[in-house]
Amino acid sequence: MVVFPNCKINLGLHITGKRPDGYHELETVFYPVQLRDALEIVHATTEEPEDIRFTTSGLSIPGNSASNLCVKAYQLLKKDFPELPPIQMHLHKVIPMGAGLGGGSSDGAFALKLLNEKFQLQLNQDQLIHYAAQLGSDCPFFILNRPCYGTGRGEILEPIELNLSGHRFVLIHPGIHVSTKWAFEQLTPAKAPRPITEILQQSLSEWKRELVNDFEAPILRAYPEIASIKRALYDDGAVYASMSGSGSTVFGIYAPGQAIGIQEKISHPCQVAEG
């Protein structure tokens, strides 16, 4: 069986507090975008000492396979479902890593859903969300995989009505690694002046005035190249442009049918995806 884990963008992102456990409280809206990896799971065909054989293709994935969220998803379920058979799992990686797009979180969440379906574990959505939260803060969103208002660490999710179908999304990853720890250290948590969900009720053309990612100001100062990408998207006619998560991917939202010429204006590869 094969599934196609998609990425997400953050529409607005505010860091509102610091928790006793060291995590930060945040407010954001997660929106799914159809730039996708591919994940396949089949029964193991040979006798091997491991329960799971994990292989990859596409973009190079740093670290060893044991740390991959797809492998951790299998191991997490195996604890509660020891009858899970040995498998072969292959991940073809298209979504850039460490880019603020949640690609690894999506892979892990889709692995849970695929294992649940393939081996008929009968887990409901709430149970899958519970397992996903153990993999990472962004993983529960990809169980729902629809526009959601996120609070807490990002794991408290409230589905919202927000339809950007027909719009096109340009995603530009400049290949710059932004330390998440450093990015958080640049911020002073504070309550947002206006709820993100209220801002999103306005027309998309109004978002530029008020829809803010708190990480943008310090990161764009430290990395002028990221700032220049955002300017180039607006110069190209994007209705709204922002950085996703703590970067370094910058996305632009274009109106339906609008021409996209950004590829000719920057040196970084652009990926165009649907909402």
Q: Are 14 and 192 in contact (CB under 8 A)?
A: yes
Helix and strand numbers (H, E) in the chain are 9, 12
DSSP state of 49: S
Rounded to whole angstroms, the Cα distance separating 133 from 125 reads 12
Rounded to whole angstroms, the Cα distance separating 250 from 230 reads 6
| Active-site option among 37, 138, 214, 236 | 138
Integer Rg of the chain from CA: 19
Cis amide prior to 248 (ω within 30 degrees): yes
Q: Which residues pair with 152 in a beta bridge?
A: none
Q: Give all strands (DSSP E) within the chain, no chain letters.
A: 2-3, 6-18, 24-36, 38-43, 52-58, 87-93, 148-151, 156-159, 168-172, 240-243, 250-254, 270-274
| Active-site option among 8, 93, 113, 230 | 8
Rounded to whole angstroms, the Cα distance separating 270 from 274 reads 13
Rounded to whole angstroms, the Cα distance separating 81 from 45 reads 20
Active-site annotation holds for 18? no
Active-site annotation holds for 138? yes
**Positions marked active-site:** 8, 138
